[in-house]
Chains A and B, each alone.
Chain A
Amino acid sequence: MNTEELITRYLTNENSAQENSMLLEWVISNEANKKEFIQACQIWHNTSLLNSKFDKNKAYTSFAKTIATKQAKGKTFSLWKTISAVAAVAILTIGIFFVLQPSNSNTLTVANNSDAIKTIVLSDGSQIILQKGASLTYPESFESDNRSVSTTGTVFCSVTPNPNAPFVVSTNSLSVEVKGTSFEVSPSKVIVESGVVEVTSQSNSITLTKGERVDLTDGILSKSINNDINYASWKTGILYFNNTPLSTVFKDLERHFNCRFTITNKLLESEKLTGTFEQQSLENTLLMIQEVFPEIEFVSTNASTFEVK
């Protein structure tokens, strides 16, 4: 059988296991083969976009029914939730005594030495985004009941939910346990974007929900509401300002662009800025600010230090 036929049979899901092995061998043997395979797949999937066998109205009706039942059962549901949560904690505690076996899969370490951010997708589909200078140590594949990674520097984690396998991120000073959420970890703070996580340091442990942050000072964790809307700008490349005092604006810019501003004109500190900067260079950002506040003058003392007059 020639490879074109093998590709067709693969796409129509007719290949035997042996035929798939043959195809895989052919695909990975050189770049030209891989390209041919990918092009066939792309044509296949771009034609299926026109395929309309999925019935959205029927699906919505079934969804509406399900949530109506769920809402009606709301009370019993949450009672059961509490009971199962208690049970889960009990089982987990017992489980820990039995399941403390060392991992035998390969451990990998990735460090981000480049200026751009780096995204690592773990074997369970979770994504870890590394800021410049951060590193991540993780097993090549997770065991079924335990997902542990360790990091240095600042990372952002989007965790694939799996109630059977808690996800634990450890740094030198603290550890974060989670069951499916996204959050940012650096050695001295944790900020939660969605979901619930538990942060533990040597001295205490704190539960965080979305929009909250915890800071580590002198080994003690303290919780607060996260007011810093630009905390993830290194990841998104987006800076939001909503009636933000210029003093804060420049602080966010300093962190984002890794530069320094000295504000000599004190009158400016009370002025406020509203706007969104998406994927802008430092130069463009400063020009835009200047357009809003023509009285501002930036004097650069060197490439990364500016005086604001």
Chain B
Amino acid sequence: MNRLKKIVYFQNFLKLRFFINKIILDQNTHIQNGNWDAVFETIYAQYYTGLCTYAHSFIPDADEAEEIVQGIILKMWEQKENLENIISLKSYLFRSVKNTCLNYIKHQKLEERYREKAWVELKKIESDFIDPYHNTELEFQITEAIKELPERCREVFEMSRFEGKKNKEISEHFDISIKAVEANITRALSTLRKKISEYMQTEKPLVVLLIISCII
């Protein structure tokens, strides 16, 4: 091992120590001080919308999805002393949402949808590929590609995705048939997929244990 390499290693080591300490400190200072109001305020301010959107990707009904997230946070509050052992609050929250939603789909038999074997199977296949965090690169590519869609196609797609409107509501808004709404969404999906398939990962993701992988 030559001298230069050694120095690089040493610098990396210092960086590593600094970053990890800082990240864990930032996250856990409030927890360690028992400043629960601040902890839960942060959860709502930083993660709530993301958590709901993530839950909504499993649960078709937005209100139900929001209720599940509220339930998880409330449960965390009730067992808040356990939080001291959590290394990453964020990944803990998103993991809880995924587990709870999959469990909910499995056990909630009131809603007809959840009794459908095929739908539950499709959700399971899909769930492995839903990225809970912002995939900025992919998101950027999608935003750019959406701009290039034909006008009506783009309007319908944006209304469906960004405003969360149901197909029926969109058909009424544009005064077109529901079939036409579906056709526009299908066209948008198909065009987007062809344009950006290279940015998407479709192999089953590995279990990622590396929490802070960007340091070295």
Which residues of A pack against B, CB within 8 Å?
A: 4-5, 7-15, 17, 20-21, 23-24, 27-28, 34-54, 56-57, 59-60, 62-63, 66-67, 70, 117, 119, 123-125, 160-161, 193-195, 210-211, 235-238, 274-279, 284, 287-288, 291
Contact = CB atoms under 8 A, between A and B. Distances in A.
B62 A53 contact: yes
A46 B13 contact: no
B139 A49 contact: yes
B174 interface: no
Contacts of B16: 275-278
Nearest to B195: A43
Interface residues of B, number: 86
Given A39-B202, A291-B6, A8 B125 contact: no
A40 B13 CA distance: 42
A179 to B, nearest CB: 12
Interface of B: 1, 6, 9-10, 13, 16-17, 20-21, 40-41, 44-45, 48-50, 52-53, 56-57, 60, 62, 66, 70, 73-75, 77-79, 81-82, 84-85, 87, 99-100, 102-103, 106, 113, 116-119, 121-122, 125-126, 129-131, 134-135, 138-139, 142-143, 146, 157, 160-164, 166-167, 182-183, 185-186, 189-190, 192-193, 196-197, 200, 202, 207, 209-213, 215
Nearest to B57: A45
A13 B166 CA distance: 9
Contacts of B196: 43
Nearest to B215: A278
B130 A45 contact: yes
Given A48-B161, A124-B103, A193-B85, A284 B202 contact: no
A291 B103 contact: no
Interface secondary structure of A, over-half rule: helix
Contacts of B211: 236, 238, 278
B48 A4 contact: no
B209 A236 contact: yes
Contacts of B186: 4-5, 7-8
A4 B194 CA distance: 13
Contacts of B118: 17, 20-21, 23-24
A211 B182 CA distance: 54
Given A17-B118, A194-B82, A236-B87, 10 more contacts: A8-B182, A12-B167, A15-B119, A23-B122, A43-B142, A46-B139, A117-B209, A210-B82, A238-B211, A287-B9
A38 B125 CA distance: 8
